[in-house]
Structure 1
């Protein structure tokens, strides 16, 4: 009589037919362990790293206060060294098998290139802007209208 293995995938059940009858304890326990150790935790850490780098790059030239705050926060997170916090830049990089100092240098080089490139860009107008007379601006018209009404009263 064959006993059905509960909780095993079809592939694991099929491959178990071709395995020897005798298994070492380590081999037996390997069938119940996760295939990738700490997979969900690593996915979370990778998402945190991607978001931090995306904020660093996206908001470098932000003009609004929210964007500037996001950039400052991402930059501080990347530049902080020696923190023992679970989701610090160093901890996240080490959990993913990445060298945090190498990434820091790469981001610093990227920032320097982006800033240099932005400073080289110059906006040139082909035609001068038409000058607006004070009399044609909407604010001046309203002010003149109010003044005329006040004088006529």
Structure 2
């Protein structure tokens, strides 16, 4: 399977001070995109994860795997289809076994090629995700990873709060 010309580095962490992080995001110039009520359905696949996201802002089908690279994770993307059709969704359920579902409320912020997600899961746990991306595969991976850590430090997120691999592990 050949990866797409898409790369990103991602950090996930426990969110300890939502109000403080949101204040820092505004001070840094991040734009608030909105509140996305998301349902992520994960399907059995190898390698990586196959996810159907159904949200009030973001809707997609993606097949990806995350590879640890220091404290950040590099995402290798095989499929990234925005706004899947009802037929694409039906095909997912027909061809793959569901292995899990994660429901969350996601506050989305963006500045250039950096997205920040402030998530609250169904069990009221709060998380922060930093995603630094390049959809053209033109930026050096080291620059993307460095920017990911720079944003983490700017938001006051300690390395002890970092989480590997996300909320759903299959």
TM exceeds 0.5? Answer: no
Instruction: Report the structure, 1 or 2, having the larger strand content.
Output: 2
Asked which structure has the greater CA Rg, the reply is 1
Q: Bin the TM-score by the shorter chain.
A: under 0.3
TM-score by length of 2: 0.23
Structure number with the bigger relative contact order (C-alpha 8 A, sep ≥ 6) is 2
